[in-house]
Structure 1
Amino acid sequence: MAIYHARVKTFSRAKGHSSVAAAAYRAGLLLVDEKTGSRHDYRRRGGVVETRCVVPDDAPEWSMVPAQLWSAAEHAERRKDATVAREFEVALPHELNDGQRSALAAEITRALVQRYRFAAQASIHSPDARDGLNWHLHILSTTRRLDAEGLADKTRELDGGPSGKSEVEWVREMVARVTNAHLAAAEVGAQVDHRSLEAQAADAMARGDLVAAVLLTREPTRHVGKNASALARRGEDSERAERNAAIHGENDEQFEKLLETFERKGRAMAPTDGHGPEQAWRDRQNANRAGVDLTLPGGGQMRGVRGITGLAVGQIAVPPRSPGPLARDLFGEAVLLWLDDALAAVIDLLKNTRRFLEDHAGRLAAFAEHSRLRTDLRELLKRLRTLKRWATEWKRRQLAERHALKLLHRSEHSLEEFVESNPKPADGTEKEWARRRGRRLAAIEQRLASLKAAREARSPQAEAVCEQRLVSAVEAVEEWSGQMLKSYPIESDALAPAFGPVDASKLKASQKTQPPRSPRLH
């Protein structure tokens, strides 16, 4: 399915940003900031498919050259806290080919330039992974309008407040509308929607499309960001990625529970006699004016969905749905987590988990058709992932401290090199020399603050918190494994000794005395 994403952000000198640096990075160019003399060379970076400058019809010729455009943009701003550039970040459908994506990017950029009369640099980026889907567009724009005389007044309507919110909403709607037009022209059977999930769910219910409404009541995932994405590419965990994985699991579980509820009540039947969802909605519209939020099993609620409880048997058509990961695959993932070296220090404390996973093939053969097995296995996986995170948390903090110290040394070395190579001048360039030296001093201050934060994260108090979270994670895994042993017993369990609760007092000693090893199942 096509993915929708549109975001607007700004670059400010108050935060140390430079429009020249931002333009060089997004376009993969070498650009020199004439105001500061800094060189920004990104010619070796990959992933830049194409870059183009789009300007108003009466704009001067130099505005089509990135080096001149962004140098002029920097010189036009006098304040030390000025906003020097604005960026519109847009997802491009992976279902389109290169030529179609280029045409879509050009039309979106032209629409923005025509509305706001600024100059824009549009760069298409390809996914980081070879088979990735994250095609996206960076539209870097000036914060001033451009006319025949050059950069003019600021685009204040985008600065914030009610006007800014309405303009951002216009941008989001325009991106969705133009994207859908290009998808339709390419005969792609997918569309995007800029509205919130709650608004889409309410619209689906107004159409009588219950299944779409159910799907749209899912909890949205959080933006991962480049740092967490880089960790994922290296095979490392990140808190944001783990949270999104948990959200996906919870959404799947809630959807399955809801469908099970309808199936038990005989509501998952195909419509007969031409009585479809639209007619059902009209029939029940008056009875449901007050609106009822559907309460799910376990107390959860479907946000923004009204009038479901009044639908009668035979009025809801539920299409075939993907069964999701098989129980065999979930067992396999749990075993891989068990065998991960990250759990070596706590593996002897996971006695119920070992007992449950030792004969996973036997449990799978005995309970493959059990309706709750997959849901329970997903919960076990979620708890094992949390355990892995806290089992490796202290090591990550150690590495963060070393990295912060390394960056501090680099900044100090940069200052030393600058002072040695650039003695303080006695002529009129002293102010520029002081500015360049000040940037290096500011970098050292930032590195010192980062190092201080990294060391505070390894304080005795922080260590105690990490240990307690690890103990809690071990207990959570063991408690759930114990419940699954009772829910899915097999004959070989009678041969295994019965284990009691986790002895958390042995955890710290276990971490310090046990050498790293790869646990194995027998």
Structure 2
Amino acid sequence: MAIYHARVKTFSRAKGHSSVAAAAYRAGLLLVDEKTGSRHDYRRRGGVVETRCVVPDDAPDWSMVPAQLWSAAEHAERRKDATVAREFEVALPHELNDDQRSALAAEITRALVQRYRFAAQASVHAPDAKDGLNWHLHILATTRRLDAEGLADKTRELDGGPSGKSEVEWVREMVAKVTNAHLEAAEVRVQVDHRSLEAQAADAMARGDLVAAALLTRQPTQHVGKNASALARRGEDVDRAEGNTAIHEANSQQFERLLETFEPMVPTAGHGPEQARRERRQANKRAGLDLALPDGSQMIGVRGLVGLSIGQLTVPPKAPGPSTQDIFGEAVRLWLDGALAAVVDGLRSTRRFLEEHASRLAAFADHPRLRADLRELVKRLKTLRRWATEGKRRQLAERHALKLLHRAEHALEEFVENNPKPTDGTEKEWARRRGRRLAAIEQRLAALKAAREAVAPAAEAVGEQSLSGAVEAVEEWSDRMLQSYPIDSDALAPGFGPIDPAALKAIEANQSSRPPRLH
């Protein structure tokens, strides 16, 4: 079964990265960083099947030569914390042959270059594990667009924020579509899916494919990384690798319990339990797992299905959770929290509702809607508490940032005092150690600047506005609950309809000093 994987990451000077070093490693080349004079020689590394440079149509000829391309990329960035390259890491189906994988890698790279107009170096890597399944593609791209004149403006749309998230989602979807088209052309009857496991499971349930949904409703494992993987292969303990093994075991046990429940109810034709077991055995084999149940059968991983149904088949729901009394008690505790002291005068309906909580609970404890409505009140009270403490939290953050700056400055003074500049040929090491302390001071200065901006009048005005919105949101909900659950009437007032999403967005919570009193 083909594996889907697509990830985007960056290389930054602030973390000591070099685009020249990254390009040399991924392509198995010897490249010299003209900016620093460092040689990066990876000509002896194995696993590099092919490397190609893909550039826009009007790009200059030198951009097709890795040594010249990445040297230009380094010189184009002047900031010492600049992002110097961006990488797209993509899994290639092991079901394809070498030529088919090469064509797939080329098309994915061309699609990226066409959209962002940067220069890209694409390297296909062969698996380094015994199973021979982990074929993958590294696309190293410049962070600037490339035109006839050379490297131009930065590809800001790929930076963080909403724009970056939407572009990453486009990349993931494009990789899935192109991969599936090549699998279909090769007459390979498998497909990949870029969506989350939850979305795929929901889609399987909508199609009525219970076993497929069970396969997809599993707890995902964590990426281990090449360094940790190498340690694990040498037999050393690696926390994340051990955690992944535990996740696989828990998934497998839960999945077997589900199949025991569903097997008598699922038709034998089509995607049945036995096929599900075979697919998970293959997945476990690819993951390098050799898990077995007490009866000798191999384990299969999924996380459990909750509250799902197909026709007459219903999976029992989860435990009901906190009772109505518990939720009412949480609301009262939030009200008595000293955090709300500064805004209590503006919460008259909330005071009235909670003062009469014993009577309301006696009258409406069994009403099916009260529990959900109280949950919403608790949610809004928590948001209010968060906003009420926001100003104090920002002031503490400023003091903490100043304290850390003073520590960094003291560390530099102490180093210079105890380690005079040497004259015996070790100046470079001394400068490196001193540079680390200077860099720490710069980082602390930047953090202090950000903390002071957060307590500036403009930021405080925004916080006050958000606090007012949170107060209004709590009062609005309390008013509605007073009308819906009147203790002076035996009849429940008509429901007040769904929650307004716009009102919910205006909320977030707080903390202060003296507690309000209920009287």
Aligned equivalent of 1:379:
none
Q: For residues 86 and 423 of structure 2, what CA distance do their matches in structure 1 show?
A: 35
1:130: how far off?
4.2
Cα displacement (A) at 1:260: 1.3
Give the letter for the 1:238 counterpart.
V
Among 260, 266, 269, the alignment partner of 1:268 is: 266
| Aligned partners of 2:144 and 2:151 also within 8 Å | yes
SS where residue 152 of structure 1 aligns? strand
Q: Is the 8 A contact 1:172 1:194 kept in 2?
A: yes
Deviation sequence 1:124-164 (CA, Å, 0-9, x none)? 11111243311111100000000000000000000011000
Q: Give the counterpart letter for 1:99 in structure 2.
A: D
The reply on whether 1:188 has 2:188 as its aligned counterpart is yes
Asked if the contact 2:35/2:75 (under 8 Å) is kept, the reply is yes
CA contact (8 A) 1:183 1:189 kept: yes
Aligned to 1:218: 218
State how 1:119-158 maps to structure 2 within 5 Å: 119-158=119-158
Alpha-carbon distance change, 261 to 23 in structure 1, aligned in 2, over 3 angstroms: same
Q: What is the CA deviation profile of residues 164-209 of structure 1, one whole-angstrom value per residue up to 9, with x for unaligned ones?
A: 0000000000001111111111111211110000000001111111
Give the whole-Å Cα distance in 2 for the aligned partners of 1:96 and 1:419: 61
8 Å CA contact retained: 1:31, 1:39? yes
Moved over 2 A (4+): 129-132, 268-272, 300-303, 309-313, 436-446
Task: Write the letter of the residue equivalent to 1:161.
Answer: G
Superposed displacement of residue 443, structure 1: 8.0
> How many Å separate the matches in 1 of 2:100 and 2:121?
19
2:309 is matched with 308
Following superposition, the deviation at residue 419 of structure 1 comes to 7.8
Q: Once the two structures are superposed, what CA deviation does each residue of 1:457-514 show, in whole Å capped at 9, x if it has no partner? A: xxxxxxxxxxxxxxxxxxxxxxxxxxxxxxxxxxxxxxxxxxxxxxxxxxxxxxxxxx
**Alpha-carbon offset, residue 39 of structure 1:** 1.0
Number of the residue aligned with 2:201: 201
Please tell me the residue identity of whatever aligns with 1:225.
Answer: G
SS in 1 for 2:129: coil
- Paired position in structure 2 for 1:243: 243
| AA aligned opposite 1:103 | A
Amino acid at match of 1:234: R
Amino acid aligned to 1:135: W
User: Structure 1 residues 444 and 41 mapped into 2: Cα distance closer, same or farther (>3 Å)?
Assistant: farther
Three-state SS of the structure 1 residue aligned to 2:265 is coil
Report Cα offsets for 1:347-379 as digits up to 9, x if no partner: xxxxxxxxxxxxxxxxxxxxxxxxxxxxxxxxx
Query: Is contact 1:205-1:306 (8 Å) kept?
Result: no
Q: Secondary structure at the match of 2:8?
A: strand
- SS at structure 1 position matched to 2:87: strand
Task: Report the Cα offset of residue 37 of structure 1.
Answer: 1.0
* Aligned partners of 1:86 and 1:140 also within 8 Å: yes
Unaligned runs of 5+ in 1: 273-299, 314-417, 425-433, 447-522
The whole-number CA distance in structure 2 between the counterparts of 1:38 and 1:185 is 45
Question: Aligned partners of 2:78, 2:311: CA distance in 1, in Å?
Answer: 63
Change in CA separation of 1:419 and 1:137 when aligned onto 2, cut-off 3 Å: farther
Structure 1 pair 423/271, CA: closer, same or farther in 2 (3 Å)?
Answer: closer
- Structure 1 CA distance, aligned partners of 2:423 and 2:48? 36
Question: Structure 1 residues 443, 423: closer, same or farther in 2, change over 3 A?
Answer: closer
Distance in structure 1 (CA, Å) of the matches to 2:23 and 2:258: 48
Paired with 2:5 and 2:195, the residues of 1 have a C-alpha distance of 11
Matched with 2:179 is: 179
Structure 2 letter corresponding to 1:184: E
- 1:218, 1:423 → 2: CA distance? 55
- 8 Å CA contact 1:118, 1:144 repeated in 2: yes
Partner residue of 1:292? none
Once residues 184 and 269 of structure 2 are traced to their aligned partners in structure 1, the CA distance between those partners, rounded to angstroms, is: 29
TM-fit CA distance, 1:268:
3.3
Q: What's the counterpart of residue 47 of structure 1?
A: 47
Between stretches 194-203 and 32-41, larger displacement belongs to: 32-41
Identity %: 81
Q: CA deviation at 1:42?
A: 0.9
Corresponding residue for 1:234? 234
The amino acid of 1:75's aligned partner reads H
Deviation at 1:302, TM superposition (A): 3.8
Is the Cα contact below 8 Å between 1:202 and 1:306 reproduced in 2?
Answer: no
In the alignment, residue 145 of structure 2 is paired with which amino acid? R
Within a 5 Å distance, the mapping from 1:226-375 to structure 2 comes to: 226-263=226-263, 266-270=264-268, 302=304, 307-308=308-309, 310-312=311-313
Retained in 2: the 8 A contact 1:120–1:139?
yes
Structure 1 CA distance for aligned equivalents of residues 245 and 230 of structure 2: 16
Q: Relative to structure 1, is the Cα distance of residues 306 and 148 closer, same or farther in structure 2, using a 3 angstrom cutoff?
A: farther
Following superposition, the deviation at residue 437 of structure 1 comes to 7.1
Q: Name the residue aligned to 2:112.
A: 112
Cα distance in 2 for partners of 1:301, 1:51 equals 40
**1:69-116 CA-partner distances (Å, limit 9, x unpaired):** 001001111111111000000011111111111111000000000000
8 Å Cα contact 2:23/2:140 also seen in 1 = yes
Taking a change above 3 Å as real, the CA distance of residues 438 and 181 of structure 1, as seen in their structure-2 partners, is farther
* Residue equivalent to 2:14: 14
- Is contact 2:205-2:310 (8 Å) kept? no
Residue identity matched to 2:141? S
Shift of 1:232: 2.6
User: Structure 2: any 5+ residue segments left out of the alignment?
Assistant: 271-301, 315-421, 440-519
Contact 1:12-1:85 at 8 Å conserved across structures: yes
CA apart distance, 1:442: 5.5
| Contact 1:214-1:302 at 8 Å conserved across structures | yes
Distance 1:182 1:301, change over 3 A: closer
- The 1:243/1:32 distance shift into structure 2, 3 A limit, reads same
**Are residues 442 and 134 of structure 1, via their aligned partners in 2, closer, same or farther at CA, if it must alter by over 3 Å?**
farther
**Offset of 1:309 from its aligned partner?**
6.3
What is the CA-CA distance between 1:251 and the residue it aligns to? 1.1
Task: Say if 1:111 and 1:271 are closer, same or farther in 2 by CA, change over 3 A.
Answer: closer
Instruction: Give the letter aligned to residue 21 of structure 1.
Output: A
Q: Counterparts of 1:48 and 1:441 in 2: how far apart (Å)?
A: 39
- Distance, in Å, in 2 between the alignment partners of 1:73 and 1:152 is 10
TM-score normalised according to structure 1 size: 0.54
How far is 1:444 from its partner?
11
1:355-434 aligned within 5 A: none
What amino acid is the match of 1:250? A
Match for 2:40: what amino acid?
A: H
Note the C-alpha offset of 1:228. Answer: 1.9
1:167 equivalent to 2:163? Answer: no
- Counterpart secondary structure, 1:9: strand
Distance 2:47 2:435 in 1: 31
Worse-matched range after superposition: 22-31 or 123-132 = 123-132
Which residue is 2:284 aligned to?
Answer: none
CA contact (8 A) 2:90 2:137 kept: yes
Which residue of structure 2 aligns with residue 77 of structure 1? 77
What is the rounded CA distance, in whole Å, between the counterparts of 2:3 and 2:98 in structure 1?
Answer: 17
Change over 3 Å in CA distance of 1:137–1:172 after alignment to 2: same
Partner of 1:394: none
Cα distance, 1:203–1:164 mapped onto 2, change above 3 Å? same
Cα deviation for residue 213 of structure 1 reads: 0.6
CA offsets 1:268-327 (integer angstroms, 9 cap, x no match): 34479xxxxxxxxxxxxxxxxxxxxxxxxxxx9746x664165259xxxxxxxxxxxxxx
Separation of aligned partners in 1, 2:47 and 2:437: 31
Instruction: Assess if the C-alpha contact under 8 Å between 1:87 and 1:139 holds in 2.
Output: yes
Q: Give the secondary structure class of the aligned counterpart of 2:85.
A: strand
Deviation at 1:440, TM superposition (A): 7.1
**Aligned partners of 2:89 and 2:139 also within 8 Å:** yes
